[in-house]
Structure 1
Amino acid sequence: MAGLKSPTIAISRWLDGLLRPLFNRLANETTILNGSQLVKQIEQWSAKYLTSTTSFITMDVTDLYTMIHQEGGIKTIRKLMDASNIKQIDGVKKEIILALARFVMTNNYFYLYGLYYKQIRGGAMGSPLTLTIANAYMYFVERPISKWAIITNSLYYRYIDDLFIMSNVYVDTLTGLVNYWNKLDININLSASIGHTAEYLDLKIENRDGSLISEVFHKASHESYFLPFTSVHAKHIKKNIPYAALVRAIRYSSSFDAFKREEAHIIVSLLLNKYPKDFYS
């Protein structure tokens, strides 16, 4: 069964420990880890290239984890190692890594209404190896996009299955390019949004006549609940929650009003989770 206690989870973690550093080194210039990192890159790019006509393009990959064929995932690992020009990692030969990865990918099962099912496409959600394979697969798919961004002085980054672009290329051309990029790989379907505003990860950003306006973004499904104050976790962990939220608000907010709106949201969330006043006053 796919899960934290499944027979394959230890192999998955071990393989992920071997392969993820390869991906991180290879994709360092086109991937981000969080919204704060993206804000920094946007500010650096905008200082040189931002105009009143600059557009944002956000693209989401539909069902990335389940759209990649299992054998395609194994081929991705081979390509990852070939691109890194290595035949073994920590003394483990490529053939053994591929064999173990195939075993993990093709042995995912789940139980529903009294019946057992075997997953025949994609990888198990939550499996460490699945994330690395999906990331590596997208790295090779996105090569034409990242090269185009360099040529056109556009900004391009990706977080797993979410793609972000800032560009001064005409909107009609961008629309045509998105259609072309949707044909790069039969397994990858991109749903795109192009305009002067964008909602990406936890960041909302707008190009208002050549000036960047940004604030924290909360999805419609967002709920103001996190670690309750009544939990048994250490006090320093609980203190870090409002601290991290306020730091994010400061980093994302382009105006004092935007910060105060997010600050009010944080306070309400803390109250809902039974945090005392001295945690945020």
Structure 2
Amino acid sequence: MASFDVKALFTRVPEGGAMKAVKEAVNKISENEVPVSKSDYIKLISICISFYPFTFNGKVYRQHQRLAMGSPLSAVMASLFMELLERDEYIKTMGRNSTWCRYVDDVISIYPRGTNIANYGDLTTCMKVYNSR
């Protein structure tokens, strides 16, 4: 058994990976469940995450990459991204005979005795490999 924590989850999730997860989620729902067309809905989300203003010491800054802390969309998008990561990489990383349970950025994995999880690296490494594709 092992536990993992994704450190600074929002700031490690790339916009491209998050948008891929959003597109997959939106495409699974019917057209009348969104207030505009699916393509417009996806474009609106993309616009929202492309400009993350935040204030520090009285000055306004723009987040240039990854998901921003404090944005209402970041929590949803990070969760969708983690679901995509689990679906696409979990079995390759941990094997079919293991169990993986996640709550936001905390994971517990139960795997067969004798499995050397040191060979798998950490979850951040898994995310980097996934993001590089």
Alignment TM-score, normalising by the size of structure 1? 0.40
Distance 2:32 2:67 in 1: 23
Unaligned runs of 5+ residues in structure 2 are none
Residue 80 of structure 1 aligns with an amino acid whose one-letter code is A
Distance 2:77 2:4 in 1: 19
Asked if 1:186 is matched to 2:118, the reply is: no
**Aligned with 1:151: secondary structure?**
coil
Q: Quick one: higher RCO (CA 8 Å, sep 6+), 1 or 2?
A: 2
Going by fraction, where is helix more abundant, 1 or 2?
A: 2
Which residue of structure 1 lines up, in the alignment, with residue 4 of structure 2?
59
Which residue of structure 2 lines up, in the alignment, with residue 239 of structure 1?
none
Of residues 81, 104, 115 in structure 2, which corresponds to 1:160? 104
Unaligned runs of 5+ residues in structure 1 are 1-55, 189-281
Could you tell me the percent identity over the aligned residues? 23
Q: 1:123 to 1:151 in 2, by over 3 A?
A: closer
* C-alpha RMSD of matched pairs (Å): 2.8
Asked if 1:108 is matched to 2:52, the reply is: yes
After superposition, the C-alpha distances for 1:158-199 in whole angstroms (9 at most, x for unaligned) are 01111111223314x2221x32865443277xxxxxxxxxxx
- Kindly name which structure, 1 or 2, has the bigger radius of gyration based on alpha carbons: 1
Q: 1:73 to 1:155 in 2, by over 3 A?
A: closer
Which residue of structure 1 lines up, in the alignment, with residue 33 of structure 2?
90
Which residue of structure 2 lines up, in the alignment, with residue 77 of structure 1?
22
After TM superposition, the runs of 4+ consecutive aligned structure 1 residues lying more than 4 A away are: 146-150, 180-183
Residue 108 of structure 1 deviates from its aligned partner by: 1.6
Alignment TM-score, normalising by the size of structure 2? 0.76
After superposition, the C-alpha distances for 1:3-38 in whole angstroms (9 at most, x for unaligned) are xxxxxxxxxxxxxxxxxxxxxxxxxxxxxxxxxxxx
Of residues 69, 80, 90 in structure 2, which corresponds to 1:145? 90
Structure 2 contact 6–124 (Cα < 8 Å) conserved: no
